[in-house]
Amino acid sequence: MDPGECLLCKSKMREGITEFVARVGEQVVVIKNIPAFVCPNCGESYYSIDTQRKIDRIMEAFHDGRLLAKPLAAGEVDLKALEACPTTSCAAIEDL
């Protein structure tokens, strides 16, 4: 199958591996090592129909509570909260 070009930036897609990240309520689900066509320029990924069906089944099982996932350490940053905080308490953010 010829992957064609990226719909976003028009670069030539390449076969590769990616991950799928989704938020389900207060939880984050990450599915790793997904075969996909990946844009080397912007990082956009496209899955085959079979791969998308597998992702859909995994997500359905997760929603239904039938899939136990390994805990994942993650940090969450709220941009609105950062913008609203006083400059003295957010001085380190200004360096970003």
pLDDT in tens, 64-73: 888 888 887 7
Cβ neighbour number for residue 13 with a 10 Å cutoff: 20
> Which domains does the chain carry?
14-94 (3.10.20.860)
* Residues of the chain by 3-state class (helix, strand, coil), percent to 5: 25, 30, 45
User: Taking Cα atoms as reference points, which of 13, 24, 14, 48 lies closest to residue 34?
Assistant: 48
Type of residue at 47: Y
User: Taking Cα atoms as reference points, which of 79, 28, 33 lies closest to residue 54?
Assistant: 33
Q: Is 6 exposed, middle or buried (0-12, 13-18, 19+ CB in 10 A)?
A: buried
User: Taking Cα atoms as reference points, which of 3, 22, 28 lies closest to residue 14?
Assistant: 3
Q: Above 80 in pLDDT, residue 85?
A: no
Q: Above 60 in pLDDT, residue 82?
A: yes
pLDDT in tens, 41-72: 999 999 999 999 999 999 999 988 888 888 87
